[in-house]
């Protein structure tokens, strides 16, 4: 018990989390100051399940009916004929060439018949277009709300217009009710994404996105505990902007509105580059790295906070490369084909010599890779 207390005391030492000569008592929340309360970090967990409930209600009663009304079908690929031996091999991931050859001999089938059965079996696990449309509709809905709400509440905040206000008089920054809700709902959303990612459409960027969600949650928790909510709110605002158009472009693609998808994708690409590789590194990270040390005495938690910001930037640069590659081939091919930033990992299709360049690029991205969101 004493060991745990010592570990806890060391971990929560103000020498780690706060600037020199500042104690936890100095920023303890009370009726007079409304400083961030670390105990409130438990609230996003139950709120995440509320968001999941809202999501599935909207998907079932709003997004799915709307998708069907514009012609999106909830059908799946042709089902494979039940075969106990092949089913066991499929579940055990025994689908390499030598194993396929052995299965063919065991069943007295040709290797091509075994490969065709496995393709059909994998296609059964592939979610329908309507399922993917509903998932993207939910994310588009959330990002639209989050960006709009964030812009409204930050419009009259001085740190939106002069980022140095994020550091003036730090750490004595009270948290207003609008910022409180902005933080809590945002953290709840990323917790919900972390949970739902394991049963949503599986994509090739699964672990990149999972790392992104966890890094975002940790970043928000660190900024909340350390009273860095001002810079944290700016990070949220910058990340939500482009994700609206990413999800909208996917929705248009699944709806077979190719020209609309192309137009939205152009807007998304411009906003992504402007916010994720422009505003984010040259405004936010520049301020935390160059300007903050001139105003606030540095402390260990600051370096953790800044490291997480840089981790997000590295993920953004990887995704930017992939997005620009898709855009390049899309221009050459004349249209945007394939999922944007990542495809379903279960997607199976017969390769044709007539594949367009963008399809080849999408396949390459599937092998090497990515929301939004940042976030």
Tell me the C-alpha to C-alpha distance, in Å, between residue 175 and each of 27, 29, 30, 239, 356. 11, 10, 11, 21, 52
- Asked whether residue 354 is assigned to any structural domain, the reply reads yes
CA separation for the pair 226, 368 (Å, rounded) = 37
Rounded to the nearest integer, the mean pLDDT of the chain is: 82
Judge if 94 and 210 occupy the same domain: no
Judge if 107 and 135 occupy the same domain: no
Does residue 374 register a pLDDT over 60? Answer: no
- Asked whether residue 220 is assigned to any structural domain, the reply reads yes
Judge if 116 and 136 occupy the same domain: no
Q: 39 lies in which domain range? A: 33-72+128-368
Residue burial 241-264, b: 16+ Cβ < 10 Å; e: rest: bbbbbbbbbbbbbbbeeeeebbeb
Does residue 70 register a pLDDT over 70? Answer: yes
211-228 mean pLDDT: 87
Transcribe 270-339 into DSSP letters.
Answer: HHHHHIIIIIIIIIIIHIIIIIHHHHS---HHHHHHHHHHHHHHHHHHHHHHHHHHHHHHHHHHTS--S-
Judge if 120 and 244 occupy the same domain: no
Judge if 207 and 159 occupy the same domain: yes
- Asked whether residue 2 is assigned to any structural domain, the reply reads no
Q: What is the pLDDT of residues 6-41, one digit of tens each?
A: 887 888 889 888 999 999 999 988 877 889 998 999
Judge if 96 and 132 occupy the same domain: no
Q: What is the pLDDT of residues 265-288, one digit of tens each?
A: 999 999 999 999 999 999 999 999
Residue 125 has a pLDDT of 65
Which H/E stretch holds residue 202?
none
- Asked whether residue 25 is assigned to any structural domain, the reply reads no
- Asked whether residue 23 is assigned to any structural domain, the reply reads no
Q: What end-to-end distance do the CA atoms of the chain give, in Å?
A: 38
246-250 mean pLDDT: 94
Residue 84 has a pLDDT of 79
Q: What is the pLDDT of residues 99-157, one digit of tens each?
A: 788 877 778 888 888 888 877 777 766 778 898 899 999 999 999 999 999 999 999 99
Considering only residues 71 and 332, tell me which one the structure prediction assigns the higher pLDDT. 71
Judge if 171 and 240 occupy the same domain: yes
Tell me the C-alpha to C-alpha distance, in Å, between residue 178 and each of 39, 157, 233. 18, 11, 11
Judge if 102 and 218 occupy the same domain: no
Judge if 151 and 213 occupy the same domain: yes
Residue 203 has a pLDDT of 67
Alpha-carbon torsion, ordered 257, 263, 267, 269, to 10 deg: 80
- Asked whether residue 28 is assigned to any structural domain, the reply reads no
Judge if 264 and 281 occupy the same domain: yes
Does residue 199 register a pLDDT over 90? Answer: no
71-75, 206-210, 333-337: range with lowest mean pLDDT: 333-337
Judge if 242 and 331 occupy the same domain: yes
- Asked whether residue 116 is assigned to any structural domain, the reply reads yes
Judge if 223 and 101 occupy the same domain: no
Q: How many CA atoms lie within 13 A of 141 on its CB side?
A: 15
Total domains in the chain come to: 2
Residue 68 has a pLDDT of 93
- Asked whether residue 64 is assigned to any structural domain, the reply reads yes
């Amino acid at each position: 018990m004493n060991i745990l207390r010592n570990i806890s005391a060391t971990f929560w030492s103000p020498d780690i989390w706060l600037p020199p000569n500042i104690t936890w008592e100095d920023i303890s929340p009370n009726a007079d100051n409304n400083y961030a309360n670390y105990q409130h970090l438990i609230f996003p967990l139950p709120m995440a399940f509320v968001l999941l409930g809202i999501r599935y209600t909207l998907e079932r009663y709003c997004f799915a009916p709307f998708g069907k009304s514009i012609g999106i079908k909830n059908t799946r690929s042709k089902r494979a004929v039940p075969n106990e031996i092949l089913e066991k091999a499929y579940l055990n991931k025994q689908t390499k060439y030598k194993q396929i050859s052995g299965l063919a001999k065991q069943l007295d089938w040709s290797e091509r018949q075994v490969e065709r059965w496995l393709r059909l079996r994998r296609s059964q696990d592939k979610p329908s277009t309507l399922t993917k449309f509903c998932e993207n509709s939910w994310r588009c809905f959330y990002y639209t709300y989050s960006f709009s709400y964030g812009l409204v509440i930050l419009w009259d905040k001085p740190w939106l217009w002069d980022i140095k206000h994020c550091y003036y008089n730090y750490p004595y920054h009270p948290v207003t009710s609008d910022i409180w809700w902005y933080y809590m709902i945002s953290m709840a959303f990323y917790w919900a994404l972390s949970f739902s990612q394991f049963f949503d459409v599986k994509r090739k960027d699964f672990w990149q996105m999972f790392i992104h969600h966890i890094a975002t949650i940790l970043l928000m928790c660190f900024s909340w505990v350390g009273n860095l909510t001002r810079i944290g709110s700016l990070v949220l605002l910058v990340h939500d902007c482009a994700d609206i158009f990413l999800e909208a472009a996917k929705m248009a693609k699944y709806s077979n509105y190719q020209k609309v998808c192309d137009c939205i994708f152009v807007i998304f690409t411009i906003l992504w580059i402007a916010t994720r590789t422009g505003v984010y590194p040259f405004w936010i990270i520049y301020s935390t790295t160059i300007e903050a040390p001139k105003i606030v005495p540095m402390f260990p938690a600051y370096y953790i906070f800044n490291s997480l910001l840089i981790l997000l930037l590295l993920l953004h640069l990887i995704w930017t490369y992939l997005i620009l590659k898709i855009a390049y081939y899309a221009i050459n091919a004349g249209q945007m084909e394939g999922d944007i930033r990542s495809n379903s990992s279960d997607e199976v299709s017969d390769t044709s010599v007539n594949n367009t360049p963008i399809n080849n690029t999408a396949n390459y991205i599937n092998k090497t890779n990515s929301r939004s969101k940042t976030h």
